[in-house]
Amino acid sequence: MARLGVDYYPEQWPRARWEQDADLMAEAGISIVRIAEFAWSELEPSPGTFAFDWLDEAIDLLAARGLAIVLGTPTAAPPAWLVEAHPEILPRRADRRLHGFGHRRHYCPNQPAMHAATRRIVAALGEHYGKDERIEAWQIDNELMGRCTCDACLARFHDWLRGRYGSIDALNESWGTVFWSQRYDDFAQVPLPELGQVPPYGFGREAPSPSLALDYRRFTSDSHIAFLRLQVGELRPRIGPQQRITTNLMGFKFAEIDYHALSAEIDVVAWDNYPLLDPTGRWSSPALAADAMRGLKRAPFWVLEQQTGAVGWEVLRTPRRGQMRLHSYQAIAHGAELVSYFRWRTARFGTEQHWYGVLDAHGRPGRRYHELAELGRELEQVAGALDGAEPVSVAALLHDYDSRFALQIQPTNPSLGYEETVQRHYEAVRRLGVGVDVLAPTAPLSEYRLVVAPNLYVVDEALAAALHGYVEAGGTLVLAPRAGVKDRCNVVPELPFPALLAGLAGVEVVDVASVLDADPVQFAGVDGGPDGAFHGWYEQVEPAADARALAIYEDGEFAETPAIVSHPVGDGRVLYVAGAADQATLDRLYRAVAPEAGIAVAELPDGVECIQLRGAETLLVLLNHADEERDVPLDGGRRDLLAGVDHDRSIRLAPFGVAVLAPVRAAIGAEK
Ligand code: GAL
Ligand code: ZN
């Protein structure tokens, strides 16, 4: 059963209060506490002098009430004495501004002095707590992120390039440095790119080589991963085998670190879930994040920070009543084994005074505390059924960091935004009640009936071959515009787009149109294809002899040419969508395509999410994200395990309501 936890900062409260906190947690059914991830100055008040007594005491009190501990390494907040002795650890951001003391994350992951101080505190914590059975896991640092352009980073970048290219000639060749006289004689001449802000769709004053910029992105990602690895290296030999190592990632939206690469270094994937941080508030946003996190190891994950109350540092946004529970069920249904609420008690001081926790700053149990306790009781009720149940996914969505980084560097057209495009395709499939695994393009795909690749901008031969194999064996692949536009060095291949994928897609792009603030261009479905519209980005494609149009442009420059093309390959087929499609268009497209791929689809009212889980029995979790009642049709009798009521033809969900339904006879969504 999913366990509930809280993020607790005993160092921010008087000792006299700790016992009461621990009692209240235990009474609310909390079973795990994350602790100490910013407490460096309290754990090591001066260089090499450790003060673990307070943490021992806090852990004693918590553990005495059966609470397990996730212990943070405190490196996200280097203390003043360290910055004073080694000001060089402060990171220089991409615009060359120094990120000073007084906030957090004020360190460069490549600075030797930071490494030494990190090794010392992490080793000391490992020595002290590594064999402590009450510690269940370690959280390394906190939300690794941040770019740095300091001299240590520059030197490391040169080493990194040497490792990747071997010789400067190979780099020159791969990057095309003949352009603008950028040929290097030595790795030492390569600069770090100026990457303040990508100017919105104009010519940047500082427009670095796209190849240099992409490698800098990769290098930044690798630098954080190396810093994580350094800490794992200190912990691993000191900890018992029952202690797991993780770090709190940031879901799907965050795009500075290749989480596919990072997740190989940790034992369990964990992330922070703040649904209200998406200003659109759409339900598919935390759903996509959860599926992306589950896809990293194709395994259940932990949520180490779950939104509780209002979010915001300066300006607040409050969840509606019922949303804390709803978002918790959403996380659990998508694969969370642990949901830990940020934070136990609202801070009285510091930057996050207005980031509301389970308790208010005054410390008396109120509405959120009681809701959490109620949720714990409910979860116990459905524990038997939910135990070991995992989401059923017949579709996969490919998420590729190289493509994402490269598109950040050259956004091309606002309608092609990586995150937004992925989100729209994902939502269109999920609206059908179909489960989606969000995976690296290198993941094995044969078990999926449908593979969606909304943004495969960077492609190499191995990937093209793997996708070919998938389709040939019977899979359905959806490709969208700008597939295959770059190679791994961010250089354009000498082939018509989608270049290495052209044979598979059965199209060649013969012309493109990029329009800002465009009116939609309509297209009409043929042969069962969907009607729809593109906005901003349009391609004119020439289909191969064995391909056929599923839709034809009705107006615009490419009127009467194909807007969507279907290409049979072996036992499967590829769809190529030749423009930036809006949500309604994608909804219609997948509603047409999924059944043809052998996937059963559901009719779900607006705002209702349906997740199918397979455990001891097959369950449906229905989540009403709307603030109005919704009637959901059922295709057979089901029992709502939460309400303990049977339903025949349909179920009425309250605003923000949840139902866990068993058993399922004719399942919504096909079996894998
Ligand atoms: C997270 C972070 C927490 C806290 C929270 C609310 O990103 O890990 O430490 O800052 O946001 O702001
Ligand atoms: Zn640096």
Say if CB 395 and CB 437 are below 8 A apart. Answer: yes
- Tell me how far apart the alpha carbons of residues 429 and 575 are, in angstroms, rounded to a whole number: 15
Closest ligand 1 atom to Cα of 37: 9
Sign of CA dihedral 313, 270, 341, 350: negative
Q: Pocket of ligand 1, candidates 75, 305, 356: which has the most ligand atoms within 8 Å of its Cβ, to mutate?
A: 305
DSSP 183-224: --SSGGGPPPP--S---TTS--SS---HHHHHHHHHHHHHHH
* Percent helix, strand and coil across the chain, each to the nearest 5: 35, 25, 45
- Tell me how far apart the alpha carbons of residues 383 and 377 are, in angstroms, rounded to a whole number: 10
Burial class of 621 by CB neighbour count within 10 A (0 to 12, 13 to 18, 19+) = buried
CA 446 to chain centre: 23
Closest C-alpha to 658, from 637, 642, 639: 642
DSSP 574-642: EEEE-EEE-HHHHHHHHHHHHHHTT-------TTEEEEEEESSSEEEEEEE-SSS-EEEE-SS-EEETT
The pLDDT of residue 281 is 87
- Tell me how far apart the alpha carbons of residues 601 and 668 are, in angstroms, rounded to a whole number: 6
- Tell me how far apart the alpha carbons of residues 528 and 551 are, in angstroms, rounded to a whole number: 9
> How far is residue 241 from each of residues 133, 265, 339, measured CA to CA in Å?
10, 16, 23
Cα 11 to ligand 1 centre (Å): 17
Residue identifier of the C-alpha nearest atom 10 of ligand 1: 352
| Element containing residue 133 per DSSP (H, E) | none
Cα 259 to ligand 2 centre (Å): 20
Closest ligand 1 atom to Cα of 274: 11
Cα 549 to ligand 1 centre (Å): 48
| Element containing residue 4 per DSSP (H, E) | strand 3-8
Q: Which residue has 């759409």 as its token pair?
A: 282
The pLDDT of residue 195 is 58
Q: Which residue has 């490709």 as its token pair?
A: 479
CA 397 to chain centre: 13
Residue identifier of the C-alpha nearest atom 1 of ligand 1: 272
Say if CB 139 and CB 33 are below 8 A apart. Answer: no
Q: Which residue has 């007594």 as its token pair?
A: 53
Q: Which long-range contacts (CB under 8 A, 24 or more apart) does 382-386 make?
A: 382/641, 382/642, 382/660, 383/1, 384/616, 385/615, 385/616, 385/617, 385/619, 385/641, 385/660, 385/662, 386/1, 386/2, 386/332, 386/613, 386/615, 386/619, 386/660
Cα 140 to ligand 1 centre (Å): 14
Query: Which residue ranges form the domains of the chain, and what is each CATH number?
Result: 3-145+224-384 (3.20.20.80), 151-215 (no CATH), 395-596 (3.40.50.880), 608-662 (2.60.40.1180)
Q: Cβ neighbours of residue 593 under 8 Å, at least 6 residues apart?
A: 450, 476, 478, 575
Closest C-alpha to 228, from 255, 186, 193, 267: 267
Say if CB 105 and CB 76 are below 8 A apart. Answer: yes
Beta strand pairing call for 336-342 and 3-8: parallel
> Which residues surround ligand 1 with Cβ inside 6 Å?
142-143, 272, 305, 342, 352, 355
The pLDDT of residue 196 is 52
Which ligand is closest to the CA of 153, given by its number? 2
- Tell me how far apart the alpha carbons of residues 101 and 79 are, in angstroms, rounded to a whole number: 9
Looking at every residue in the chain, the average pLDDT score rounds to 95
Closest ligand 1 atom to Cα of 142: 8
Cα 452 to ligand 2 centre (Å): 37
Say if CB 289 and CB 253 are below 8 A apart. Answer: yes
Q: Pocket of ligand 1, candidates 35, 272, 341: which has the most ligand atoms within 8 Å of its Cβ, to mutate?
A: 272
Three-state SS for 404-451 is: HHHHHHCCCCHHHCHHHHHHHHHHHHHCCCCCEEEECCCCCCCCCCEE
Structure tokens, 160: 């990194």
Q: Is the whole model's pTM more than 0.85, yes or no?
A: yes
Say if CB 6 and CB 304 are below 8 A apart. Answer: no
Residues in the chain, pLDDT under 70: 195-206, 664-672
Which ligand is closest to the CA of 311, given by its number? 1
Q: Pocket of ligand 1, candidates 143, 302, 351: which has the most ligand atoms within 8 Å of its Cβ, to mutate?
A: 143
Closest ligand 1 atom to Cα of 352: 12
Which ligand is closest to the CA of 115, given by its number? 2
Say if CB 610 and CB 539 are below 8 A apart. Answer: no
Sign of CA dihedral 465, 470, 475, 479: negative
Cα 99 to ligand 2 centre (Å): 11
- Tell me how far apart the alpha carbons of residues 376 and 275 are, in angstroms, rounded to a whole number: 20
Say if CB 141 and CB 227 are below 8 A apart. Answer: yes
Cα 359 to ligand 1 centre (Å): 17
Count the neighbouring beta carbons within 10 Å of the beta carbon of residue 103: 9
Which ligand is closest to the CA of 96, given by its number? 2
Tell me which residues are annotated as active site. 143, 305
Closest ligand 1 atom to Cα of 248: 8
Cα 431 to ligand 2 centre (Å): 43
Residue identifier of the C-alpha nearest atom 5 of ligand 1: 342
The pLDDT of residue 202 is 44
- Tell me how far apart the alpha carbons of residues 671 and 660 are, in angstroms, rounded to a whole number: 19
Closest C-alpha to 295, from 427, 406, 435, 418: 435
Secondary structure letter of residue 136 according to DSSP: E
Q: Pocket of ligand 1, candidates 344, 352, 358: which has the most ligand atoms within 8 Å of its Cβ, to mutate?
A: 352
What is the tens place of the pLDDT at every residue in 498-530? 999 999 999 999 999 999 987 899 999 999 999
Cα 74 to ligand 1 centre (Å): 14
Which ligand is closest to the CA of 273, given by its number? 1
Residue identifier of the C-alpha nearest atom 9 of ligand 1: 142
- Tell me how far apart the alpha carbons of residues 662 and 643 are, in angstroms, rounded to a whole number: 12
Q: Cβ neighbours of residue 187 under 8 Å, at least 6 residues apart?
A: 158, 161, 162, 168, 171
